[in-house]
């Protein structure tokens, strides 16, 4: 079962879709999410969010000033500033 991912900045949706893996940097360190992960609420640290789509392609974004949550195979990343790199 894929993850449903939503990455938003203060003023726009940056990316949303299905993924097999999401890795983000939090104030407590880097964390990765796959389907079935326990619920998490964490504060984002400045850094990259790396998303592996279900077809294996990669999405990379810079994100800072926000939080992320994981619940029921849905990952939501809300950042004050976020922009796609690739």
- Please report the beta strands in 1-86, taking only residues with DSSP state E, as ranges in sequence order: 3-8, 13-26, 29-33, 40-43, 47-53, 58-71, 74-84
**7 has a pLDDT exceeding 90:** yes
Q: How confident is the model at residue 1 (pLDDT cuts 50, 70, 90)?
A: confident
- Interval 27-73: pLDDT, tens: 999 999 999 999 999 999 999 999 999 999 999 999 999 999 999 99
Pairwise CA distance, residues 52 & 42, whole Å: 20
Pairing of strands 29-33, 13-26: antiparallel
**Fold annotation for 3-84:** ATP Synthase; domain 1 (2.60.15)
pTM: 0.94
Which pLDDT does position 16 carry in this prediction? 97
- For range 9-15, the mean pLDDT: 94
Which pLDDT does position 47 carry in this prediction? 94
């Amino acid at each position: 079962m894929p993850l449903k991912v939503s990455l938003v900045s203060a003023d726009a949706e940056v990316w949303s879709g299905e993924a097999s893996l999401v890795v983000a940097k939090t104030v407590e360190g880097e964390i990765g999410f796959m389907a079935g992960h326990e619920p998490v609420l964490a504060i984002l640290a400045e850094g990259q969010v790396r998303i592996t789509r279900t077809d294996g392609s990669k999405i990379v974004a810079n994100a800072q000033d926000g939080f992320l949550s994981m619940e029921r195979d849905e990952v939501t990343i809300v950042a004050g500033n976020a922009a796609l790199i690739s």
